[in-house]
A and B are shown apart, each in its own frame.
Chain A
């Protein structure tokens, strides 16, 4: 009685707070940023329009605004339902715009509690508004991009990335962030590689065919990826990575650092252009794979050193080893560090057939 009365009084007097009823808001699943005219930013929002037959139509909205945060307000002005940002799955930034710094755009995301930290942040060379407009599947493009990146991270060559990891790397001493690089491919969206960032500016790229090696280097433990190897310029073998383990051993930290990269990998043979496969051949494939990996890894690391970016986080590892570690000094040394790559590949399975 007492409680009922009190609750009633409260209901009557306080009224309700701002409701965000699921079907009365515009869920934004992806936002894209393009450079606009007059130093403005062209913001594109993707929202799913769920059909009665359970399919989804991709809807996009575009506004021009000087401030990225202001966009939400502007979107809502021209729509029957308010825009909400709680379900943003992908944030896509045009590369041209990213040259001015990614952080000015995404800084608001760290303040907004409604944005999840599993959202993806990606970049593209194409115009984002066009990229987001296409209907690529029965999903809206936010979900589509998020699902595409998701499964490529779990079983593919894309290293783990999301908003949380981006901020983690950005604020880390001795590590630089990277974000996936997307591109429009006829009627689909393709992962064309990874963009390397220094501070919050894009300085370089890793191509799609280098991603296998990049992921193995960047992530301590990886699994489920395929690797195409040429053997003696005639045969080709498609290898499947069961697991890999990468270790960095930093020596001589203080004056002249040297880094040993140890990569252990277990592989299986998925496809082989020759029909016969014997032990000798297997060893041959192993060596070929190791060589290709080494070559790619050396190239990648050279690229990093030239750009003076550290997506692997060697600096972070070094800082864990030494109390005197210093960020400026480290980046001065970084381009001249000698990397040695040791590989240990093993083909453990050859499939169910002989």
Chain B
């Protein structure tokens, strides 16, 4: 039995500016490959407005999270403990831990689905999942510094992929964006709700906050990280709308990959295979950070070894990955999960802020 840890030793902490990479790396994942068709399905050529709205919403939520953490002075688990007490707080914490595990499962499973559909239809799901889980175990057991390192390299190394978008400009027609705002408010709002699913991972901040040196300073970096991924999503949706006509776009599950098909260089064609392989690195920070947060949560909540918690999560993921066996199941799972995630971050977080303020923040001030 371990103690609830409220302070983290300085040697495990990371510099505040790395929060930029932590936030944006967990937001840029499998979503980038296929978020367009979901959004365009609802909001058509106005989808980019939905992306902007979702991005702004996340900025507000990040602000809320920083407020909660400032009043609560700790991580999500200690705040739950302090605000709601041992049992109720424990239940809430448990939900969040499940949610973090869910993020990891969704990301990994969706990526492997892409691999299965586009590259190797007969790949052995069990083995490729296992190899990924071993990799994740190896990385996460290196501690938060290594996870941050993965987040950093997971943004920096694949950034060359942005250049590949230049090749798609050949086929773009930005008239597709016109007329602006020919969809109803409802459509656009519901599209931005769909969109938030891609941004969802940033809530890991609730757990890794104590691991930041001078966490107050990291605020601006947190927002910068969100801004980076938000602009990236915006550029991609703009190019996608211009590249496809609407009816064509919604026929594709993964428009980004389809767009890569037109990339042609003297030494390589059909860039989507390179893209998918590079995505193997991009999803890594998503999963690592989510599982790190979940295992850290388990360590704090159940007070047992984070390493054992991690192994438990990985086994659970392996089971879940084997269980979801078809594309339809995956889509259903994604839908349910995004619904839960959406309400968790948009409704629960403001609620938690109020509770934290009244239970802890106000006392502190007086």
Question: For window 165-190 of chain A, which residues contact chain B by CB distance below 8 Å?
Answer: 165, 167-173, 175
Q: A320 and B175: CB pair below 8 A? A: yes
Chain A residues near B244 (CB, 8 Å)? 168
- Residue from B126, B248, B264, B270 within 8 A of A171 (CB atoms): B248
Contact in complex: B261, A118 (CB < 8 Å): yes
Does B182 interact with chain A (Cβ within 8 Å)? Answer: yes
Residue A321 at the B interface, CB < 8 A?
yes
Cβ contact within 8 Å between B248 and A168: yes
- On chain B, the number of residues with a Cβ less than 8 Å from chain A's Cβ atoms is 33
- The residue in chain A whose Cβ has the minimal distance to the Cβ of B251 is A110
Given A118-B262, A164-B261, A170 contacting B175 (CB threshold 8 A): no
With A17-B122, A172-B248 given, is the CB distance from A10 to B175 under 8 Å?
Answer: no
Rounded to whole angstroms, the CA-CA distance of A217 and B216 in the bound complex is 59
CB of B178 within 8 Å of the partner chain: yes
B131: which of A10, A15, A165, A167 is its contact (CB, 8 Å)? A10
Contact B178 A14 (CB under 8 A): no
Asked if B262 and A117 sit within 8 Å, CB to CB, the answer is yes
A18 touches B122 (CB 8 A): yes
A52 interface residue (CB < 8 Å to B)? no
Q: Which of B179, B246, B261, B270 contacts A323 (CB 8 A)?
A: B179
Q: How many whole Å from A286's CB to the nearest CB in chain B?
A: 31
**A13 beta carbon closer than 8 Å to chain B:** yes
Which residues of chain A (268-319) have a CB below 8 Å from chain B?
A: 316-317, 319
User: Counting CB contacts under 8 A, is B73 at the interface?
Assistant: no
Chain B positions within 8 Å of A15 at CB level? 124
- Give the total of A residues in contact with B, Cβ under 8 Å: 30
- In the bound complex, CA of A168 to CA of B262 (Å): 14
Q: Which residue of B lies closest to A170 (CB)?
A: B248
Q: Mark B115-127, 1 if CB is under 8 A from A, else 0.
A: 0011011111011
A317 touches B247 (CB 8 A): no
A1 is an interface residue with CB less than 8 A from chain B: no
Whether the pair A116, B171 counts as a contact (CB closer than 8 A) is no
B335 interface residue (CB < 8 Å to A): no
Report if A329 contacts B (CB, 8 A): no
Let me know if B269 and A116 touch, CB within 8 A.
yes
Contact at B120–A17, with CB atoms within 8 Å? yes
Q: Is B141 part of the binding interface, using a Cβ–Cβ cutoff of 8 Å?
A: no
Against B, the Cβ 8 Å flags (1 = close, 0 = not) of A182-205 are: 000000000000000000000000
Q: With A316-B175, A323-B179 known to touch, is A113 a contact of B120 (CB < 8 Å)?
A: no
A-side interface mostly: helix
B164 is an interface residue with CB less than 8 A from chain A: no
User: Which positions 247-265 of chain B face chain A at CB distance < 8 Å?
Assistant: 247-248, 251-252, 257-258, 261-262, 264
**B134 close to chain A: CB less than 8 A:** yes
A51 at the interface (CB under 8 A from B): no
Q: Does A322 contact B (CB under 8 A)?
A: yes
Q: In the complex, which residue of chain A has the Cβ closest to the Cβ of B263?
A: A118
8 A Cβ contacts from A320-336 to B: 320-323
Judged by a CB distance under 8 angstroms, whether B245 is at the interface is yes
For residue A220, which residue of chain B has the nearest CB?
B173
Say which residue of A6, A86, A116, A171 sits within 8 Å of B247 (CB atoms). A171
User: In the assembled complex, which residues on chain B have CB atoms less than 8 Å from the CB atom of A118?
Assistant: 261-262, 264, 269
Which residues of A lie under 8 Å from residue B248 when comparing CB positions?
167-168, 170-172
Q: How far is the CA of A173 from the CA of B264 in the complex (A)?
A: 29
Q: B117–A113 contact, CB under 8 A?
A: yes
Residues of B within 8 A of A319 (CB): 179
Residues of B in contact with A (beta carbons under 8 Å apart): 117-118, 120-124, 126-127, 130-131, 134, 171, 175-176, 178-179, 182, 244-248, 251-252, 257-258, 261-262, 264, 269-270, 272
Contact surface of A with B, Cβ cutoff 8 Å = 6, 10, 13-15, 17-18, 86, 110, 113, 116-118, 164-165, 167-173, 175, 316-317, 319-323
Q: A117-B261, A168-B248, A316-B175 are in contact. List 20 more A-B contacts (CB 8 A).
A: A14-B127, A15-B124, A86-B270, A113-B272, A116-B269, A117-B258, A117-B262, A118-B261, A118-B264, A118-B269, A167-B248, A168-B171, A168-B245, A170-B248, A171-B246, A171-B248, A172-B247, A173-B245, A316-B245, A320-B178
6 contacts between A and B (CB under 8 A): A6-B134, A10-B131, A17-B123, A18-B122, A117-B258, A172-B247
